[in-house]
Amino acid sequence: MAGVATAFGVLAVTMTIGVGCAAAGAAAIRSAQVTATADTAALAAADTALGFVGGVPCERAAEVVAAAGLELAACDVDGAIATVEVGASTGVFRVHARARAGPAS
């Protein structure tokens, strides 16, 4: 009976570690998606602020973020420089990314 209890204990620990690693991996993947979306939204807002695309810069950023299925946490346009913050949840983790775009100074 001691061998069976040990085997169940080892199996439980292995499964716990596996689930934890899977959750951390999912958060890392979601973080990359959030970062890419923040970059794209900041570029879209900066392009709009510069007049390359019609519309309102933060509305354009919100459209990009909504198309990716994420949440726009903040958008600020200072002249032609756009700063965008995007957030999302994945399991028990919450990921955020901030991006800034505009002409080179």
HEC assignment per residue over 45-95: HHHHHHCCCCCCHHHHHHHHHHHCCCEEEEEEEECCEEEEEEEEEECCEEE
Tokens in use for 94?
């919450």
Tokens in use for 33?
């998606």
Q: pLDDT band at 16, cuts 50/70/90?
A: very high
Looking at residue 26, its pLDDT comes to: 86
> 50 is in which domain, residue-wise?
2-101
The per-residue pLDDT for range 23-66, each reduced to its tens digit, is 888 888 999 999 999 999 999 999 999 999 899 999 999 999 99
Q: State how many domains the chain has.
A: 1
The three-point CA angle 47-50-53 to 5° equals 50
Looking at residue 38, its pLDDT comes to: 97
Q: Which residue has the tokens 């990921």?
A: 95
Q: Smallest Cα–Cα separation from 77: which of 64, 58, 99?
A: 58
Query: What pTM was computed for the model?
Result: 0.81
